[in-house]
Structure 1
Amino acid sequence: MSDNAWGVRSTISAALLTDFAESRDMSRAAALSGTGITESRLADPDVEIAVECEFRIIRNILAHTANEPGLGLLTGFTVHLPMLGSLGIALSTCSTVHQMAEIWSRYARISLAYAHYRLEDAGSRVFLHLDVSEVPPDVRRFALERDLAMLRTVQRELLRWDVPVQRLETDLERHPVYEAVGTLLGISDIAFERPGTLLVFEAADLERPVPQAHPLLRQQHEQMCADIIQRRRERVGLSGRVREQLVRRGGLTDQADIAATLNMSVRTLRRRLAEEGTNFRELSTETTGMLAEELLAKGCTVDTVAERLGYSSVSAFAVAFRSWKGKPPGRFARENYSARRTAAV
């Protein structure tokens, strides 16, 4: 799979990598070289970037540090539960550790992870497979190291106890740094140079109940995770580039402006969007609806959202929002802002 097939995600992971590069005596400009990402975009919470940009940052780090084993582990320890957004909330409200592992396996791609995850129940044992075969070979070791460290860091922030890992099998080559970090990760049995990578757990350890379980909140945020995946899948081709421009402008633009930004005529823009089965009006409506939901869920008033999205009146916005979500914007805001506050507590 080419880097372009990875899609997009928030700038959080890229920002962490850049911070790490700076800690290794790299300038931030050197870390971001070749990515096309500016410092202002890196700090913008509404921006999403191609994961290939992260691979470029990793390559820059490895070139600067002579590709030392263990660097990925160090960056993995900088990932924390709140950085996972809705996925973090869904994980923290699960009923058992096994349920956490299931949700992680299903939605890891919207986290800061690089691996594909697969959970396998095998009687008294449970295997969590990590597949990094789609990661470009030159950054694969770093990516796997970071995922392994991130798993332990996030798990320790989710639970008041450590989930024992009985064994780690990995295709990494043996190196002293892995023995030392294995102890830190709580893994004493490590088998190197295996065909793939997996973590082995006792099934009984994963059935331990989690005291902060909240099924309704988990379902709500699991649905949000599914919505994020669907939205990001749609952001491919020209329609994806148009959506990105619409998001950056807060929905306040027209197709002539977008066409000029993408260096094409309005006629060409219309034709190519039609070839992808959509049109500018549909993309604009979808993006405006998405922005409205996010702003309302963050606590913005209906009046504020209507004004920011360019509606002539609150009533016009309310009519449009009801057509998208089947409920008034005020009700949506109360339900979703309340859920966010509950999760924060």
Structure 2
Amino acid sequence: MVNSGHHPTVTQQYTRAIVRSWEDSGLPVSEELQAIIDEIARHQRVPMPLQDRLWLSMAKDYPEPDLGLRLGHYVQPGNLDIVGFLLMSCDTLDDALEALVTYHPIVGEGGEFLMTEGENSCSLIYSPYHTICREIRVEAVLATLMQLASYLTDNTFNPSYVSFQHKALMDYKHYEQVLGCPVQFEQVADAMVFPKAQLAKPLVQSNKILYSHMRQLADEALKGLQDHSIRFEVEQVIKVNPNWGKEKVAEQFGISGRQLNRNLSREGVTFKLIADEVRLSMAREWLSDSLPVNEVAYRLGYHDESAFNKAFKRWTGHTPGEFLQIVS
């Protein structure tokens, strides 16, 4: 099989699950789509550009707004590689969501998850890195999350609502029918929101022995991804020093800023993209922990609160205050 190298990748199992959902839905497989499916089969992990082509081809062959919901709704834990079996073996929903946040890169490196807890509610937020077919892919991920939570808890999971950053692609009623809960649009985050008490829900297939084994395999798989990624190393430097610029970070690797960007370009990213993603993740975490906005701005190296507010709005389309509305 082809080694996918340093580019962000997605596991074969998840990609095959999406393709299987397409086929099971009775949708036709065009010559172009079949060629992409055949190319995917030659990769151990699917490079993100090839995953992008898959979604573009499916969106062209089925230009209906329910594509993401249709394909994501049928994904099962077993389609998530090691991570799926790890989730199933956890004791509680809280344990499973924590494992998902930690180990999701094994499934795919196309985005990140963040758990936030308010006084009475929790949000599992999904932040994609990709822009190609963003809306339908986000809807596929949120549909998958809802399906997983329901499956793991033997259909007792009862969310408050699902929120999307984008505008509704179709009638609200169809979203609610597929997702099984109210849906909100043009919100601060793409998220699954649910009562905090549901974190304690026991999982029907909890198994401590299997959990221990799968946790070890997941640790090894995650380390294998990270060992071959300069992106991961850059992320770690920025997390410790979020106010550092490209040249300062490059010094830690004994290279120039230009060389650092060249190396990162082989993984399909730039220093600015990584820095923005890490700072946004840290900002969300600190804001969710009730750290004052001016303190968050200072920690991230912004010269004043206004500059941070502008950056946060550029990243998310919303102000820090608007973001706090979803996690309060």
TM-score for the superposition, normalised by structure 2:
0.61
Instruction: Mark the CA change 1:218 to 1:84 in structure 2 (over 3 Å): closer, same or farther.
Output: same
- State how 1:208-223 maps to structure 2 within 5 Å: 208-223=201-216
Higher relative contact order (CA 8 A, sep 6+): 2
User: How many residues in Structure 1 have an aligned counterpart in Structure 2?
Assistant: 226
Alpha-carbon distance in 2 for matches of 1:213, 1:20 = 27
Alignment match, 1:168: 162
Q: Residue deviations 1:66-122, cap 9 Å, x none?
A: 3x3220111112311212232122111212111111111111222268441111121
1:139 maps to what in 2? Answer: 133
Say yes or no: does 1:77 pair with 2:73. yes
Identity of aligned residues (%): 18
The amino acid that maps onto 1:38 is: D
Cα contact 1:114–1:144 (8 A) shared by 2: no
Alignment pair present for 1:8 and 2:30: no
Who is 1:58 aligned against? 55
Aligned equivalents of 1:129, 1:6: Cα separation in 2: 24
Shift of 1:202: 1.0
The residue identity in structure 2 corresponding to 1:176 is: M
Task: Determine the C-alpha separation between the residues in 2 that align with 1:211 and 1:77.
Answer: 20
The CA distance in 2 between the partners of 1:16 and 1:196, in whole Å, is 26
In structure 2, runs of 5+ residues without a counterpart are 231-262, 264-328
The answer to whether the 8 A contact 1:7-1:235 is kept is no
Q: Does 1:233 align with 2:226?
A: yes
For 2:33, the equivalent position in structure 1 comes to: 31
Return the alpha-carbon distance in structure 2 between the equivalents of residues 80 and 71 of structure 1: 17
What TM-score does the superposition give when structure 1 sets the normalisation length?
A: 0.58
Task: Describe the shift of the 1:135–1:212 C-alpha distance in structure 2 as closer, same or farther (beyond 3 A).
Answer: same
Q: How does 1:98-113 map to 2 (within 5 A)?
A: 98-111=94-107
In structure 2, the CA distance between the partners of 1:80 and 1:211, relative to structure 1 (3 Å rule), is: closer
CA contact (8 A) 1:170 1:194 kept: yes
Q: Which amino acid aligns with 1:135?
A: H
| Cα distance in 2 between the residues matched to 1:212 and 1:78 | 19
5+ unaligned residues in a row in structure 1: which ranges? 238-275, 277-345
Q: 1:129 to 1:215 in 2, by over 3 A?
A: same
**C-alpha separation between the residues in 1 aligned to 2:124 and 2:97?**
8
Spell out, residue by residue over 1:183-222, the C-alpha distance to the aligned partner (whole angstroms, 9 max, x if none): 332212x221113212221111211233543334323312
The equivalent position to 2:175 in structure 1, one of 159, 162, 181, is: 181
- Report the CA distance shift for 1:211/1:19 in structure 2 as closer, same or farther (over 3 A): closer
Q: Give the Å deviation of 1:24.
A: 2.6
Structure-1 separation of matches of 2:83 and 2:74 = 17
Q: How does 1:251-262 map to 2 (within 5 A)?
A: none
**Which deviates the most, 55-64 or 214-223?**
214-223
Question: Structure 1 residues 11, 208: CA separation in 2 closer, same or farther (over 3 Å shift)?
Answer: closer
Task: Please tell me whether the aligned partners of residues 8 and 232 of structure 1 are also in contact (alpha carbons under 8 angstroms).
Answer: no
Residues 141 and 47 (structure 1 numbering): CA distance in 2 closer, same or farther, change over 3 Å? same
In the aligned structure 2, how far is the partner of 1:147 from the partner of 1:157?
15
Q: Compared with structure 1, are the counterparts of its residues 177 and 169 closer, same or farther at alpha carbon in structure 2 (3 Å cutoff)?
A: same
How many Å separate the matches in 2 of 1:107 and 1:75? 22
Taking a change above 3 Å as real, the CA distance of residues 13 and 215 of structure 1, as seen in their structure-2 partners, is: closer
The 8 Å contact of residues 56 and 133 in structure 2, kept in 1 or not, is answered as yes
User: In angstroms, what is the RMSD of aligned CA positions?
Assistant: 2.9
Following the alignment from structure 2 to structure 1, what is the Cα–Cα distance between the partners of residues 96 and 175? 24
SS at match of 1:69: coil
Distance 1:14 1:32, change over 3 A: farther
